[in-house]
Amino acid sequence: MRLLSVLAVGAFALPLAAFAADPHSYAQPDQVRVTHLDLDLKVDFPHKQLDGLATLKLDWKNAKAQALVLDTRDLTISKVEGLDASGKASPLKFTLAERDKQLGSKLTIDTPKQPVQVRITYTTAPTASGLQWLTPEQTADKKLPFMFSQSESIHARSWVPLQDSPAIRFTYKAHVTAPKDVRVTMSAINDAKHPLDGDFSFEQPHPIPSYLLAIAAGDIAVKETGPRSAVYAEPSVVGKAAHEFEDTEKLIAATEKLYGPYAWGRYDILVLPPSFPFGGMENPNMTFATPTVLVGDKSLVSLVSHELAHSWSGNLVTSAAWRDIWLNEGFTTYVQGRITEAVYGKALADEEALLSARALLKELPTMAPNAQRLAPEPRGIDADDALSSVAYDKGSWFLRTLETRFGRETFDNYLKGYFAHFAFQSITTEQMLDYLKANLFDKNPGKMSWDEVKAWVYQPGVPKNAPLPASPRFDAIDAARKSFLAGSLDATKLDAKGWNTQEWMYFLDGMPDVAPLDKLKALDAAWHLTGTPNAEIGMRWYSHAIAAGDKDVWNAAAEHMTRIGRLYLTMPLYKAFARTPDGLAFAKQVYEKAKSGYHPMTQEAVERTFAKAAKGDKPAK
């Protein structure tokens, strides 16, 4: 990373090379920038690879630059050509450096004549970190194979050679061929009525960062949920998903009322097979979602609120580097709460805010000080690790604090202006703070000190005066849990029949890390938690039961771990098992059966947990 001079901007010092200094990318956007991508892809299921032709349109920033540097990971590059203004192609020399474990391989293309475009012919590896290939047996309907991408954080480079940094935005067009009967979708406008003829074309006219580049292909059916929304999923899942997400148009309208027009045209949702490692991914025009939210009662549709909110915070206004990812996730989690409140009521929004805040407070002591900062030192944290509860929950808590201090109407007007001002741009924490000071603090003096802002952003932990919403139902659950653990309230007498998912989550989150086995047995006998189809409750329940030494739940926990590949819902069980020799041996048996259905990210996380356990390190709770 090259350090250039510093320019004073308002209250903060912003490096002139802020966009050229992403430590997680080899790209040199101060020399040349990619502005448009043309993709031609062939989906090859038998070989688990994409055969690709990527044509990059270039904006040369330095008249003396003689090289284009791109990010790749495990790509086989067979040819590189330069295209002049007339479209004439000439071969270009290129060098693919040795593979770095985190960053992949730096691709340096010699460009002495600064071509208008560069065209790269390549193939992906079957082990590409940003793609997962599933056999028919690993899908819900077991009819056709399935493939999907997960480009965040720096995995787009494993299936397209590009400048893989959130600071660099580009438009794209894509032509994709696949076997007939397979539907292909991308992070662009999708045609629900497109024939399954094996030939698909897409266009994304808005500039997006590389981590929002997405593709999926498989046995995918479609069901409309509104005038500008539809659900895509395997045929046996699509009806259930459409029912769960039938309020999508209400959510879009509620967000538009708060923060301005939806800028992307359509908002569709693709429900992926269970191996998808995240709850949702906010790919423009088409959110990729986990099936674990399909519980039948809409209790987990906050996932849709969250991914939809990214259409404003993250997709529209994007963090310029992974160090700044709280600008995406913290803002989005705050907006998610506002959407949930508008559509489902304040009580539910407050419960979700309390759940996240109290979970954060419990986790912070286990984290290094740098990782507790909203804007950490960039060299001290990996790109994937930046996507922590600090970015989501501390970030949204900071924004709720601003709302409390300045008033909701004032803060809403500020946030609406923020989204409009920075639309389709990638910005740093310091740019956001400079805008915050000029447009909220300076215009409304005396509401909050600037030192408090700097403490929130640059200091570890959460300020002691951070406000929390009240929740009478959670207060009652606290009292009930205390009485239950003390022995003065029988498990059968818990007033839990009407508890929603969030209330069960809260009850279980407040249990001791190692609860008395007899109490857990009584709880299970009364409320039949073992075998629950609700993955959020199941993850918490099995973690507690395993920690307490209840081997009766092990087989049910194994079924949960095999059925679900979402990191957040699976890893706590692996960590719980890994704390004892018998548990570790059992977890390894489960993993051998489940491994082929896991995403590469999940496989890496499980194997890292096993490696730590082998060294005698106890996994963090």
* pLDDT of amino acid 380: 61
Give the sign of the dihedral formed by CA 335, CA 340, CA 342, CA 347: negative
Whether the pLDDT of residue 10 is over 70: the answer is no
DSSP per position, 47-77:
TTEEEEEEEEEEEES-TT--EEEEEESS-EE
Q: Which H or E run contains 169?
A: strand 169-177
Whether the pLDDT of residue 20 is over 70: the answer is no
Q: Cα–Cα distance between 57 and 119 in angstroms, integer?
A: 9
Range ranked top by mean pLDDT from 20-24, 292-296, 540-544: 540-544
Average pLDDT over residues 603-607: 95
User: In the 8-state DSSP scheme, what is residue 192?
Assistant: T
Q: Backbone phi, then psi, for 20, in 5-degree steps?
A: -105, 5
Q: The sheet that has 76-83: what strands, in order across it?
A: 89-91, 76-83, 117-123, 49-60, 32-44, 169-177, 199-209
Whether the pLDDT of residue 6 is over 60: the answer is no
Whether the pLDDT of residue 384 is over 80: the answer is no
Average pLDDT over residues 270-293: 94
Whether the pLDDT of residue 473 is over 80: the answer is yes
CB atoms within 10 A of CB 571: 20
Average pLDDT over residues 292-311: 90
* pLDDT of amino acid 413: 97
pLDDT tens digit string along 318-331?
999 999 999 999 99
33-47, 544-558, 596-610: least confident range: 596-610
Whether the pLDDT of residue 8 is over 90: the answer is no
Burial-class residue 121 by CB neighbours within 10 Å (0-12, 13-18, 19+): middle
Whether the pLDDT of residue 422 is over 60: the answer is yes
What CA–CA distances, in Å, run from 463 to 451, 455, 457, 467? 11, 7, 10, 9
* pLDDT of amino acid 3: 25
Whether the pLDDT of residue 178 is over 80: the answer is yes
Rounded to the nearest integer, the mean pLDDT of the chain is 93
Average pLDDT over residues 189-196: 96
Q: Cα–Cα distance between 447 and 413 in angstroms, integer?
A: 16
Please report which confidence band the pLDDT of residue 620 belongs to, taking 50, 70 and 90 as the band edges: low
32-46, 259-273, 299-313: least confident range: 299-313
Please report which confidence band the pLDDT of residue 621 belongs to, taking 50, 70 and 90 as the band edges: low
Average pLDDT over residues 131-160: 95
What CA–CA distances, in Å, run from 219 to 215, 237, 536? 14, 11, 27
Please report which confidence band the pLDDT of residue 301 belongs to, taking 50, 70 and 90 as the band edges: confident
Structure tokens at 468: 């929390």
Closest CA to 511 of 221, 172, 500, 522: 522
Give all domains of the chain, ordered by start, each with its CATH number.
30-253+266-295 (2.60.40.1730), 317-458 (1.10.390.10), 472-614 (1.25.40.320)
pLDDT tens digit string along 483-517?
999 999 999 999 999 999 999 999 999 999 999 99
pLDDT tens digit string along 345-357?
999 999 999 999 9
> Would you call the peptide bond into 153 cis, given omega within 30 degrees of 0 as the criterion?
yes
Q: Are 424 and 193 in contact (CB under 8 A)?
A: no
CB atoms within 10 A of CB 593: 11
pLDDT tens digit string along 54-63?
999 999 999 9
Which residues are identified as catalytic?
307, 392
Closest CA to 308 of 270, 269, 348: 269
Q: Backbone phi, then psi, for 503, in 5-degree steps?
A: -75, -35
Closest CA to 594 of 582, 607, 583, 613: 607
Q: Please report, rounded to a whole number, the percentage of residues in the chain having pLDDT higher than 90.
A: 89
Q: What is the pTM of this model?
A: 0.91
pLDDT tens digit string along 434-456?
999 999 999 999 999 999 999 99
Please report which confidence band the pLDDT of residue 13 belongs to, taking 50, 70 and 90 as the band edges: very low
Burial-class residue 21 by CB neighbours within 10 Å (0-12, 13-18, 19+): buried
Q: Cα–Cα distance between 278 and 599 in angstroms, integer?
A: 10
